[in-house]
Structure 1
Amino acid sequence: MFLKFATGAIAAGTAALWLTTAAAHSIEAAPSQAVQAAFDIIETTIVTKGETAVFTTRVRGEAGKDKPDATGKFEGSSVYAYVWPTSLNSGEIGFDKDQGIVALAVTFHPDFDDAAFGAKNRHIWHPHWVVLAEDKACGAGLKVIDIPEGTKPKVPETWPGVPLLIDSPEYPTTFKGETVDVEIPLSLIGGIKGASFDGVTAGLKVNGNLHAPLLCVSNVFKVASGNLSLPGKVMAAD
């Protein structure tokens, strides 16, 4: 699933180098002038530090500088994201087991709010857990999984109430120069130790007709590994 998605979505010329040894903490990628600097991944890392897991992506430019233009309406609006696809099971983040590809995403979308408990988050970069699956109806072949009308799947406490497998936890998220960091207590994602991961920057779009698939990955800017093979391994920081 990962390889099929990557093959159809990575733009030509987005060359990357990656570390695949079991001892490697990070995935390193060669810079590409074909990719917007704020989304041109240079390195992606997930490490554990004490009782915290730290997700970090470093880019060629200023992380978080570029944001999608507001459209004034929800339908057809855009989302920009820094994403860490992982080998975690959806059951480990509060959904039913074996639902799809679990990823942490730091997103910005100026046209709607999707924070937990009705809070506002449309004007800030903020984290989500998302569960992804293939869908040929999407521009990049991947979507956030829809919740069919009339069904009641298991969802986390901080699920924002939208018909998607998406969670809106308030994890500390920091942009500083070329890096974006997210810190998550290990008590909330115990399965992260030893997990595999990758790094992606992408654009998503809300379906203009508000039908499933509701939220598509419409454009992949860069994949850290070059082939979405999840070569990174979560280990303790040196």
Structure 2
Amino acid sequence: MNRSALPRRIVIPAVAVAVLAAAAGAVAAGTNAARRDDAPAAEQVAATAHDHGTHITSASGNTELAPFDLVETSVRREGDAVVFTEKVRGTAGDKTPDPVGTFGGSSVLSYVWPISLNAATVGFTKDSGTLALAATSHPDFDDTPLADENNNGKKDDDGGLWHAHWVILVPDTTRPDGALKVRDIAPGETPALPATWPGVPIYIDSPSYPTELTGQTVRIDVPMQVLGAPDTFSYDGVTAALKVNADLHDPLLRVENVFDVASGDLSLPGRFEN
């Protein structure tokens, strides 16, 4: 896998601050983090019959960027699908990255759902990091080589459209601030990877799940069988901006900014119940 041959094929929807790295370590070790009693009072977990579990209600105003200011995060079952949603104060997806014309140094915007299921659930190596679903936009490159999202007959020019990924998040050990990255695949390493892995040296999947941004809501529908019909799992919500490392070295993508965390502390207080 030659990085010089990857001008349009990589995305890293990650989150970064020290508390996020700590939570990632707990989940990777198989621990479903429970909500702390001293978590921010403005962030509440609300039980609803419709969700068959709990969703996360967040106070608005945590970021000036209304399209990334989380107010509600949920994961629920609808028929044969597990539906991941994030509701924001503004219009979801109203802001996308400004193109810079090159892969190196380009930006990614993301809506992310870290979950407590093991990485092996969707085909990655067992216990390889924190599994997260993400909706991303990045107009300078395309990393869904199997899909033609804009239906123009090409499969390599859709990166700016919001689309879904699975990623594995791990701490970026090259930085002192506890930031996370999508796990890199080292030369010679042969990890387990999903069938729709796009062929790039990171733990990422491009599954082409239905991804909709309508009004205030971001929605991704994941087939229930993909997750193995779990009885329950924990989740959280994050909005973040990323930047591609200009020299394309490990880590390939660095976290630029975390806009909002649904729980306030990434304690994964949301609970999906089948």
Q: Same fold (TM over 0.5)?
A: yes
Say if 1:5 and 1:142, in contact at 8 Å, map to a contact too.
no
* Partner residue of 2:174 out of 127, 131, 137: 137
Distance change (3 Å), C-alpha of 1:192 and 1:114: farther
- Partner letter of residue 155 of structure 1? L
Q: CA deviation at 1:137?
A: 3.5
When residues 166 and 151 of structure 1 are mapped into structure 2, their CA distance, relative to the original with a 3 A threshold, is same
Q: Which AA in structure 1 matches 2:174?
A: A
Q: Which amino acid aligns with 2:56?
A: I
CA RMSD after TM alignment:
2.4
AA aligned to 1:162 is V
In the other structure, the counterpart of 1:178 is: 216
Alignment of 1:68-217 (within 5 A): 68-117=97-146, 119-120=155-156, 121-137=158-174, 141-190=179-228, 192-217=230-255
What's the counterpart of residue 4 of structure 1? 18
* Percent identity for Structure 1 against Structure 2: 47
Aligned to 1:11: none
The Cα of 1:193 is off from its aligned counterpart by 3.6
Superposed structure 1 runs of 4+ greater than 3 Å apart: 2-8, 20-24, 136-140
Kept in 1: contact 2:241–2:259 (CA 8 A): yes
Partner-residue secondary structure (3-state), 1:43: strand
What is the distance in 2 between the residues matched to 1:135 and 1:15? 30
2:17 and 2:180 in contact (8 A); partners too: no
Mark the CA change 1:160 to 1:70 in structure 2 (over 3 Å): closer, same or farther: same
Q: Which runs of 5+ in 1 are unaligned?
A: 9-13
Instruction: Determine the C-alpha separation between the residues in 2 that align with 1:187 and 1:36.
Output: 35
Stretches of structure 2 that go unaligned for 5 or more consecutive residues are: 1-15, 23-39, 148-154
Deviation sequence 1:19-57 (CA, Å, 0-9, x none): 177974210000016331000000000001221100000
In structure 2, the residue corresponding to 1:195 is in which secondary structure? strand
- Please identify, of 117-126 and 50-59, the stretch whose mean Cα deviation from structure 2 is larger: 117-126
